[in-house]
Chain A
Amino acid sequence: MSSEVLLSIEDLEIRFPTSQGEVAVVTDVSLEIRAGEFFGLIGETGAGKSMTAWAAMGLVQPPGRITKGQVRFAGRDLLTADRESLRRIRGNELAVIVQNARAALNPMLPIGTQIAYAYRAHHSVGKDESMQRAVDALRSVRIPDPETRAGTYPHELSGGMAQRALIALAMVNRPRLLIADEPTTGLDVTIQAEILDLMAELVAAQGSSIWIITHDLGVIANHTERAAVMFAGQIVESGTTRDLFTEPRHPYTRELIESVTRERPRNERGAEPPDLANRPLGCQFAYRCDLVEEGCRQAMPALDVIAPAHLLRCPVVSREISPDEAVTGT
């Protein structure tokens, strides 16, 4: 727990222009990932999870823009870094695995060549050596007969194989942090587990960290040590994975966990996320919260530290837990 902070995001805000004006898709997001840590970010579609990850990679493309906050990786400020230093960090120290592997591979290039180019983006080596590295990377993700497979095109691979190839592409430069954005969406359930285990094993073997972004609670439960829950572009609760699952505090976290652990009628106030273009004034979740109080709708609640390493954005629950000394955190 006391190891070095690898990635820290502070007070991040990302805005996108829409027909209804500029919309903050991510707001007030702060998180930290330490060296060697397995971190998870949970949230429903559109909660801003992927956007937060793209910001960490310095890949928020116009017209989207980061309007506030700081992203630091291993002590370096990524938001003010120039293009070339960002490029050197990408892939080499920080890599991402996106959803839909087949679409994430260039259809016109053999997979081995794509991986070799990624290696050569960070190492001044010749074609033969980089291709050897690519074959090694394919072998490390347990693609059978990697020498031959290096010459195949993405459309010749099955979904699972394509996902493995994508992991090989991301891991060839041995990054210190691997961001896995919905890494198993679209794969068979049996292959999902295999891919996740493989990814965890590779990352652990080289002492790197992993940041899994998903809406699948099972993935978070099985593969992370610490997690944060995102709702409407904000983090509403974060803590150790064990705490989040055994003692979920935020009404939204509880709803999430109950939605898979218990047969419970759906929230009768609907489960639609709030309209980001017309955000409610106070707590974003208030409109469908069982614990809502008058104060909830008036001011944005802060993230309170309710236990060591457990943050919560719900003043009502915070007060219940420690009525006298609700410590206000960031």
Chain B
Amino acid sequence: MSAGIALEPPLTRSKRGRSDVLGFGLLLVIVFLAVVGPLFTSLDPNTADPTSALLPPSGEHWLGTNSYGGDVFTRLVAAARLDLFIGSTSVAIAFVIATPIGAIVGYSRRWWAGAVMRVMDFIQAFPVFIVAMALVAVRGPSTFNVIFVIALLNVPIFVRLVRSEVLALRERPFIEAARSVGNSDVGLVLHHVLPNSLGSSIAQASINIGWALLLTAGLSFVGAGIRPPTAEWGTMIAEGAPNMITGQWWISLFPGLALGLAVLGFALAGDSLRAMLDVRSRTV
């Protein structure tokens, strides 16, 4: 562009495609590693072996070992399984609970719809991390409690999202038309409103799984989530942190990288899903 205002070019098909490939590619690699990774190693992720502590990456220990001799690669793969399980389960639970609430609150014009939203405001008013820490502190650190907390924090996000979609959909002509031929309220919501609102929820779910991974790792890092020696990306980063100064960078770096790439993968995939599932942008 020679002169005048240089406009940001819209995402072209090829650029869009590249971020799609990157996002889904990252997810594919991480899920693949989580599923088949244990086949590459005969070691147990939680066994200590003081004779081979703090070894740098080598042919025998691909990503090195940690301070008590645990194999970092074995632990990384085991952690991927646990973290993906926590992330997807907690978001799935929130999704299942929040979608009907959001649909009812968005569709109904009754007074209690506002009351429900104020409850959601209440949950969201607290800093996420503080609430998570407080809840886990009260209930005790365990996989189940981490899932519970993350699910609870995700519920208002999905309620809000579904509600706003439903509010917009409610006024669309095809809803009026469907109502005018006698569909009941339940039928309208189930067959006509919800299917049209799911696209953005699914995209949001992918982004929120990434966010859940981050939260799980964060909680575990400060000791409020998964407890060591259980392999989890956050605990692995925490256990390698003291060794960073003394030069054993591999203990924290690899779980950190895995976490970062996983979050990036879910975020990009979420964006791609949003574009793909959006009926408005769908062409014939």
Chain A contacts for B109, CB-based, 8 A? 62
Nearest B residue to A100 via CB reads B173
Contact (Cβ within 8 A) A103 B182? no
A103 to B171, CA, bound (A): 11
**A122 near B: Cβ within 8 Å?**
yes
Is B28 an interface residue when CB atoms closer than 8 A count as contact?
no
Our pick among A62, A91, A109, A155 for the contact of B181 (Cβ within 8 Å) is A91
Contact B176 A114 (CB under 8 A): no
**B180 A107 Cβ-Cβ under 8 A:** no
Say whether B118 faces chain A, with CB atoms less than 8 Å apart. no
Given the complex of chains A and B, what is the CA–CA distance between A62 and B109 in angstroms?
Answer: 9
Q: Per-residue 0/1 for B166-182: is the Cβ within 8 Å of any A Cβ (1 yes, 0 no)?
A: 00000011101111111
A201 at the interface (CB under 8 A from B): no
Collect the chain B residues with CB atoms within 8 Å of residue A107's CB.
Answer: 174, 196, 279
> In the complex the two chains form, is B183's CB within 8 Å of A118's CB?
yes
A109 in contact with B187 (CB, 8 Å) = no
CA distance A91 to B183 in the complex (A): 8
CB 8 Å contact bits of B149-188 with A (1 = contact, 0 = none): 0000000000000000000000011101111111111010
| Contact of B177 with A166 in the complex, beta carbons under 8 Å | yes
Q: Contact: A114 with B178, CB < 8 Å?
A: yes
A95-150 with Cβ < 8 A to chain B: 95-96, 98, 100, 103-109, 113-114, 117-118, 121-122
Asked if A156 is at the interface of the complex by the 8 Å CB criterion, the answer is yes
B15 on the A face (CB < 8 A): no
Candidates B174, B182, B191, B282; contact of A91 at CB < 8 Å: B182
Contact of B178 among A62, A118, A122 (CB under 8 A): A118
Does A117 lie within 8 Å of B180, measured CB to CB?
A: no
Q: Nearest A residue to B183 by beta-carbon distance?
A: A121
Q: Does any Cβ of B come within 8 Å of A88's Cβ?
A: yes
Residues of chain A within 8 A of B180, CB atoms compared: 57, 59, 90-91, 95-96, 98, 170
Query: Does A173 sit within 8 A of B, measured CB to CB?
Result: yes
A102 to chain B, nearest CB (A): 9
Q: Which of A235-287 contact B (CB under 8 A)?
A: none
Closest to A84 in B: B184
Contact across chains for B174 and A170 when beta carbons are under 8 A apart: no
Determine the distance from Cα of A166 to Cα of B174 in the docked complex, in whole angstroms.
10
A254 to chain B, nearest CB (A): 34
The verdict on A87 contacting chain B, using a C-beta distance below 8 Å, is: yes
Could you say which of B172, B179, B195, B284 has the most chain A C-beta atoms within 10 Å of its C-beta? B179
Distance of A180 from chain B, by nearest CB (Å): 12
What separation, in Å, do the CA atoms of A121 and B183 have in the docked complex? 5
Contact indicator B182/A59 (Cβ below 8 Å): no
Partner of A106, one of B185, B196, B284: B196
Contact of B179 with A169 in the complex, beta carbons under 8 Å: no
Q: How far is the CA of A172 from the CA of B174 in the complex (A)?
A: 17
Q: Does A92 contact B (CB under 8 A)?
A: yes
* Residues of chain A contacted by B179 (CB below 8 angstroms): 59, 90
B188 vs chain A, min Cβ distance (A): 9
Tell me if B192 counts as interface (CB < 8 A to partner A): yes
Shortest Cβ distance from B190 into A: residue? A117
A159 to B: closest C-beta gap in Å: 13
In this complex, which of B183, B195, B284 has the most chain A Cβ atoms within 10 angstroms of its Cβ?
A: B183
Q: Which residues of A contact B191 (CB under 8 A)?
A: 106, 109, 113, 117
Say whether, besides A62-B109, A156-B284, A106 and B181 are in contact (CB < 8 Å).
Answer: no
Chain A residues with CB under 8 Å of B195's CB are: 106, 108-109
Q: Is the CB of B177 within 8 A of A121?
A: no
Residues of B within 8 A of A155 (CB): 282, 284
Instruction: Say yes or no: B174 contacts A173, CB within 8 Å.
Output: no
Give the docked Cα–Cα distance between A83 and B108 (Å): 14
Which residues 139-194 in A have Cβ within 8 Å of B in the complex?
155-156, 166, 169-170, 172-173
- Chain B residues 243-284 with CB under 8 Å of chain A are 279, 282, 284
**Could you tell me if B181 and A88 are in contact, using CB atoms closer than 8 angstroms?**
no
CB pair A103 B196 closer than 8 Å: no
Shortest distance between the CB of B51 and any CB in chain A (Å): 61
In the assembled complex, the Cα of A104 lies from the Cα of B176 at a distance in Å of 8
Q: B181 and A59: CB pair below 8 A?
A: no
Contact of A104 among B174, B182, B196 (CB under 8 A): B174
Bound complex: CA A59 to CA B179 (Å):
9
Given contacts A62-B109, A166-B177, contact A106 B192 (CB under 8 A): yes
Given the interface pairs A108-B195, A156-B284, the reply to whether A87 lies near B174 with Cβ below 8 Å is no
Q: How far is the CB of A141 from chain B (nearest CB, A)?
A: 15
Residue in contact with A109 in the complex, picked from B172, B184, B192, CB distance below 8 Å: B192
Cα-based distance from A87 to B182 in the complex (angstroms): 5
Q: In the assembled complex, how far is the CB of residue B183 from the closest CB belonging to chain A, in whole angstroms? A: 5
CA distance A169 to B179 in the complex (A): 12
Q: A108-B279, A173-B182 are known contacts. Are A59 and B174 too (CB-CB below 8 A)? A: no
Most A CB within 10 A of own CB, among B109, B173, B177, B179: B177
In chain A, positions 65-89 with a C-beta closer than 8 Å to chain B are 83, 87-89
User: Interface on B for A, CB 8 Å cutoff?
Assistant: 109, 172-174, 176-185, 187, 191-192, 195-196, 279, 282, 284
Beyond A90-B179, A121-B184, list 18 extra A-B contacts (CB 8 Å). A59-B180, A89-B182, A91-B182, A95-B181, A98-B180, A103-B173, A103-B174, A106-B195, A106-B196, A107-B279, A109-B192, A117-B178, A118-B183, A121-B183, A122-B182, A155-B282, A170-B180, A173-B182
